Amino acid sequence: MAAEPLTDLSRCAVHTMTTKPWSLEQALAGYAKAGIPAITVWRQHLPAAGAEAAGRLIRASGLKVSALARGGFFPALDAGKRQAAIDDNRKALDEAAAIGAPMVILVCGAVPGLPLAEARKQIADGIAAVVPHAQALGVRLSIEPLHPIYAGDRSAVNTMAQARAICRQFDQVIPGAIPGEKSSDRKLVGIAADVYHIWWDEALEDELALAGHHGWLHGFHVCDWKTTQSDMLNDRGLMGEGCIPIRTIRGWAESAGFNGFNEIEIFSTTRWTGDQDAWLKTCLDAYRAHV
Amino acid sequence: MAAEPLTDLSRCAVHTMTTKPWSLEQALAGYAKAGIPAITVWRQHLPAAGAEAAGRLIRASGLKVSALARGGFFPALDAGKRQAAIDDNRKALDEAAAIGAPMVILVCGAVPGLPLAEARKQIADGIAAVVPHAQALGVRLSIEPLHPIYAGDRSAVNTMAQARAICRQFDQVIPGAIPGEKSSDRKLVGIAADVYHIWWDEALEDELALAGHHGWLHGFHVCDWKTTQSDMLNDRGLMGEGCIPIRTIRGWAESAGFNGFNEIEIFSTTRWTGDQDAWLKTCLDAYRAHV
């Protein structure tokens, strides 16, 4: 059963990559003006002045931070690169803490030529290596399963079930969680569920239920899947332009206990060329109509 | 463990779509000249004179027919279109029988706006409707699970496990199979496994083993997955150009009892513009080096 329509923007967040041409300062101003309460900050949008400075800008704007995107990319063909990835993920956690992001979204990584099974092992090892730092900072690590289209070079974690298998290896609860408290996102290592990547999975309803039950359901991202895309990465659809039953899937997430932000994350070379205020308004109209 | 390298072309087949610009007659001549023993005929390459005439051409060429591509596309938003699809699949079976193809490859279908679960039900219903005709003709129905990239409009069957769930609904054995005989392709409804679509699936080795065990492993298709593709359909990679561990997967299929043709199926707008004899030679070099 689909969820009830959303009557306001109180649970809406926007990724800075959705309005890629905007600086963080422009995005904060644009989102605030549009009545959007939260922002997911991509690291490339952190200002040259650094994450502490970004934190000050964000706090001054009044917006909440839904997440920092992105960490991950753990697998590599040599140990030096794997260590560099671990170090970079620790840095991402520091940045998340500095801007008040409750989680770092993980695009876990994959390397052509490295067997997927080995990549998955390196991903779990990489997460294990940064868990203590995440725990100390109180920042969640949120695995985003990526569509199998990206299994070659972006992520060897391509289904909710695979993300779940990794989450199960960790039992840390986020600092501050009340013992015995049942919330869908209480575990330190969990999942950012993006409809673009997982909509086709026949197990999706059950997987969301399990993720919520175990405290792994950290985030929920929306856009749409167009059956023809001019680019494998940067031609995502606006909600309603494609074939994803977004409202049905949101209903499943909410049945699983999810009550966080619905994050609008749309990579679109075409949309990035136009006026970003107008594009943002288009996104919000589609959010009300289709999410 | 990867399979041993192939030392000859005795198990090599080529899809007419790999050399799309060629007519059936040109393909038969070109493949025979190159020493390829078998052809998978796409229906669009059947001559205007019809399937009986195609059968005569093929028999005169000395090539075996590995399969007819393609039937399927069962789901539709209205009953009339679903019936038309069933009728068309019966016609495809007739054509397969006429050219001596042991199987019709099924691209099962999907329709934007039709829930995937409903599409899957319509696919199973459609197959059930044509099974008696297939049984009468002795032609297999071979479900090709398609990559999730095509879940929107080409197939709601996107994994080996989903194909297996449909196969399990049918217990017909191909006419002529010896009772008690154990061959990997003895069931009337089975699977055409194409590495492009299924390489990313962590269950692949087990799924191939199960398919072989149950007599569902009808076919095996090869090409490669390039991490960047200029088109979602017609920019497939030549074996060795991408990241699929093809020889490892062939080893899994052979461990499952598969000893049929390795069918080269490459859709490539770029490759179709060049000299097709040269392109075919390139395919065969890559077949020896990477399959």
Domain count, chain B: 1
Asked if the structure places residue B182 within a domain, the reply is yes
Q: The domain spanning residue A159 has which CATH number?
A: 3.20.20.150
For residue B243, give Cα distances in angstroms to A111, A116, A246, B221, B283: 9, 10, 32, 15, 17
Q: Over the stretch A143-168, which tens digit does the pLDDT of each residue have?
A: 999 999 999 999 999 999 999 999 99
Cα–chain center distance at A285: 21
Q: Is B243 in Cβ contact with A152 (below 8 Å)?
A: yes
Q: Over the stretch A183-201, which tens digit does the pLDDT of each residue have?
A: 999 999 999 999 999 999 9
Q: Is A147 in Cβ contact with B149 (below 8 Å)?
A: yes
pTM: 0.96
Give the pair of three-digit tokens for residue A239.
């909600």
Domain range spanning residue B249? 12-290
Q: Which of B88, B90, B98, B97 is nearest to B49 (CA)?
A: B98
Q: Over the stretch B148-180, which tens digit does the pLDDT of each residue have?
A: 999 999 999 999 999 999 999 999 999 877 767
Q: How crowded is the C-beta side of A179, counted as CA atoms within 13 Å?
A: 0
Asked if the structure places residue B91 within a domain, the reply is yes
Angle at B175 between CA B172 and CA B178, to 5 degrees: 95
Q: What is the pLDDT of residue B263?
A: 98
Asked if the structure places residue A222 within a domain, the reply is yes
- Is the CB of A203 inside 8 Å of chain B's CB atoms? no
Residue B1 has pLDDT above 90, yes or no: no
Q: The complex's ipTM?
A: 0.95
Asked if the structure places residue A3 within a domain, the reply is no
Written as one letter, the residue type at B155 is S
Asked if the structure places residue A260 within a domain, the reply is yes
Is the backbone of residue B174 left (phi > 0), alpha (psi -120 to 50) or beta? beta
Asked if the structure places residue B2 within a domain, the reply is no
Neighbours of A109 (CB within 10 A): 24
pLDDT band at A1 (very low <50, low <70, confident <90, very high): low
For residue A225, the distance in angstroms to the closest alpha carbon of chain B comes to 8
**How far is A25 from B8, CA to CA, in rounded Å?**
63
Q: CA of A113: which chain B residue's CA is closest?
A: B243
pLDDT band at A175 (very low <50, low <70, confident <90, very high): confident
Q: Is A149 in Cβ contact with B149 (below 8 Å)?
A: yes
Asked if the structure places residue A244 within a domain, the reply is yes
Instruction: Determine the straight-line distance between the first and last CA of chain B, rounded to whole angstroms.
Output: 13
Asked if the structure places residue B1 within a domain, the reply is no
Q: What is the pLDDT of residue A176?
A: 76
For residue B186, the distance in angstroms to the closest alpha carbon of chain A comes to 28
